[in-house]
Amino acid sequence: MLHNILKDRKLILASQSPRRREIFDMLHLPYSVRVSNIAEPLTDENPALQAKHHAQNKAMAVLSFEDNDEIIVSADTIVVIDDMILGKPTDKDEAAQYLRLLSNRRHKVITGICIAHKNRWVTDHEITEVSFSNISEEDIWDYIRTNEPMDKAGAYGIQGFGSQFVQRINGCYFNVMGFPVHLFYKTIKDFLSYEDL
Amino acid sequence: MLHNILKDRKLILASQSPRRREIFDMLHLPYSVRVSNIAEPLTDENPALQAKHHAQNKAMAVLSFEDNDEIIVSADTIVVIDDMILGKPTDKDEAAQYLRLLSNRRHKVITGICIAHKNRWVTDHEITEVSFSNISEEDIWDYIRTNEPMDKAGAYGIQGFGSQFVQRINGCYFNVMGFPVHLFYKTIKDFLSYEDL
């Protein structure tokens, strides 16, 4: 399990997201946070590739080539509907617009992850389908008043008030929260076992 | 949203489960906990019916017919694989046996809920499919050593160390945690709107 694999490691989480810290805490991982201020402009590129590129950029921006012990972990989460990528809403009206778009529909949440150590790194991504129920205009504004949507891709958080709108998901729940736990477990196990050879 | 629908209500959660309290807290619901000590023997009856019966029994056991304001909410969660119902493991060996059974397979988690108010009540249930990855014997015992499996149906918790074993789910995540948030939202809205007529 992860807390055993990583117990004597120097793990750096290259992310400001409180949800990712929550997941690392849930897994009892020893880690510290180191973030860069790189921008993540969204382009027309394939969404999964973008998520991976952004994750890799975040990792590379904080990787120290002096400290060979560090393992950097980063992630980038995006919401995709109708081939449109939804980032964090810029204001309340955009949040309302995003929520109307997601209402009564299915969308995809994609998280790219990157693990970097010494002169090696690996990236991968996970996709989860999320089905929203119909959200009334009253609920949209009630929800925006909670302030939960404002700092989140797609203008919702699955792990808070937003849980009420989620009829079902197909895939990894933690991926929607911002960090695909099972994928990380599998990937880092492979990544570190190769190192031991 | 739930925190608005229920803000001036006297909500009683008829459950000892810390996970259900966590979910109520996440939704910012005002509530108090009142539990009975009724046993929940598992039988050969249809699993969804059993989950609903157990939930209803829990609600009825704490319903006060003197206080007309109270809304009682209860739930019962079971894990089903190969038509076998897994409750909480009685000891570490049984926990290991359950985890071996779930490894590399798909199983169902069923939560029955009951909402009771005055002389009316409603029950319903939600089913989520959970796919486990292959769990090594080493991971099984590492996991048991965390103590997480011991008080949980099916010997795992999806919201803790157990998250590493969960490849994907199909359905409601919070249902696996022990309380189907979206179903509750829909059901209590209907239940209380009927009352207002």
**Average confidence (pLDDT) over A65-83:** 91
pLDDT of residue B119: 85
pLDDT of residue A67: 75
Instruction: Report chain B's C-alpha Rg in angstroms.
Output: 17
Chain A within 8 Å of B168 (Cβ-Cβ)?
Answer: yes
Q: Residue B96's Cα: distance from chain center in Å? A: 22
DSSP 8-state secondary structure symbol assigned to residue A40: -
Nearest Cα residue to A10 out of A66, A77, A58, A76: A66
Q: Residue B28's Cα: distance from chain center in Å? A: 19
Chain A within 8 Å of B166 (Cβ-Cβ)?
Answer: yes
Assign B170 a pLDDT band (cuts: 50, 70, 90): very high
Calpha distance B197→B186 (Å, rounded):
17
Residue B40, exposed/middle/buried by CB under 10 A (0-12, 13-18, 19+)?
Answer: middle
Q: What structural domains does chain A harbor?
A: 2-195 (3.90.950.10)
Calpha distance A77→A84 (Å, rounded):
14
Task: Decide if A124 is catalytic.
Answer: no
Chain B residue at shortest CA distance from A141: B1
Assign A196 a pLDDT band (cuts: 50, 70, 90): low
Of A23, A142, A170, the CB nearest to B1: A142
Chain B within 8 Å of A165 (Cβ-Cβ)?
Answer: yes
pLDDT of residue B66: 78
DSSP 8-state secondary structure symbol assigned to residue A149: G
Assign A40 a pLDDT band (cuts: 50, 70, 90): confident
pLDDT of residue B41: 80
What is this structure's pTM?
Answer: 0.93
pLDDT of residue B81: 96
As a whole-number percent, the residues of chain B with pLDDT over 70 amount to: 99
Is A7 a residue whose pLDDT tops 80?
yes
Chain B residue at shortest CA distance from A176: B173
Calpha distance A178→A163 (Å, rounded):
15
Is A156 a residue whose pLDDT tops 60?
yes
Residue A119, exposed/middle/buried by CB under 10 A (0-12, 13-18, 19+)?
Answer: exposed
pLDDT of residue B44: 81
Query: Are the CB atoms for B190 and B124 separated by under 8 Å?
Result: no
pLDDT of residue A82: 92
Residue corresponding to tokens 């209500």: B9
Which chain B residues are Cβ-neighbours of A159 within 8 angstroms? 26
Most confident among A14-18, B85-89, B163-167 (mean pLDDT): B163-167
Nearest Cα of chain A lies from the Cα of B166 at a distance, in angstroms, of 6
Most A CBs within 10 A among B158, B163, B183, hence the mutation to make, goes to: B163
Is B195 a residue whose pLDDT tops 80?
no
Q: Residue A127 belongs to what H/E stretch?
A: strand A120-132
What distances in angstroms separate CA A130 from CA A173, B24, B32, one per listed residue? 9, 22, 32
Helix (H, G, I), strand (E, B) or coil at A171: strand
pLDDT of residue B197: 54
Q: Give just the sign of the alpha carbon dihedral A15, A17, A21, A24.
A: negative
pLDDT of residue A197: 54
Calpha distance B187→B117 (Å, rounded):
13
Nearest Cα residue to B46 out of B80, B15, B74: B80
Chain B within 8 Å of A167 (Cβ-Cβ)?
Answer: yes
Chain B residue at shortest CA distance from A139: B1
- B161 and A28: CB-CB below 8 Å? yes
Calpha distance B181→A10 (Å, rounded):
37
DSSP string across B72-129: EEEEEEEEEETTEEE-S-SSHHHHHHHHHHHTTSEEEEEEEEEEEETTEEEEEEEEEE
Which chain B residues are Cβ-neighbours of A170 within 8 angstroms? 168-170
Assign A68 a pLDDT band (cuts: 50, 70, 90): confident
Name the residue with higher pLDDT: A195 or A19: A19
| Choice among B44, B67, B76, B151 that is catalytic | B76
Give the helix ranges, DSSP H, for chain A. 2-5, 18-26, 47-62, 92-102, 137-145, 173-177, 181-195
Q: Residue B136's Cα: distance from chain center in Å? A: 27
Assign A64 a pLDDT band (cuts: 50, 70, 90): confident
Calpha distance A135→A130 (Å, rounded):
14
Assign B36 a pLDDT band (cuts: 50, 70, 90): confident
Of A139, A167, A182, the CB nearest to B1: A139
Q: Which residues contact A9 (CB under 8 A, 6 or more apart)?
A: A30, A69, A71
pLDDT of residue A171: 98
Which chain A residues are Cβ-neighbours of B128 within 8 angstroms? 168
- A161 and B28: CB-CB below 8 Å? yes
Is B94 a residue whose pLDDT tops 70?
yes
What distances in angstroms separate CA A158 from CA A14, A69, A118, B116, B139, one per listed residue? 22, 34, 35, 27, 28
Nearest Cα residue to B73 out of B9, B136, B148: B9
- A164 and B133: CB-CB below 8 Å? no
- A139 and B185: CB-CB below 8 Å? no
Which chain A residues are Cβ-neighbours of B142 within 8 angstroms? 1, 4
pLDDT of residue B196: 60
Query: Are the CB atoms for A114 and A58 separated by under 8 Å?
Result: yes
Q: What is the pLDDT of residues A88-99, one digit of tens each?
A: 999 999 999 999
Give the helix ranges, DSSP H, for chain B. 2-5, 18-26, 47-62, 92-102, 137-145, 173-177, 181-196
Q: What is the pLDDT of residues A97-147, one digit of tens each?
A: 999 999 999 999 999 999 999 889 999 999 999 999 999 999 999 999 999
Give the end-to-end CA distance of chain B in Å, rounded to a whole number: 20
Average pLDDT of chain B to the nearest whole number: 94
Q: Chain B 169-188, CB below 8 Å of chain A: which residues?
A: 169-174, 181-182, 185-186
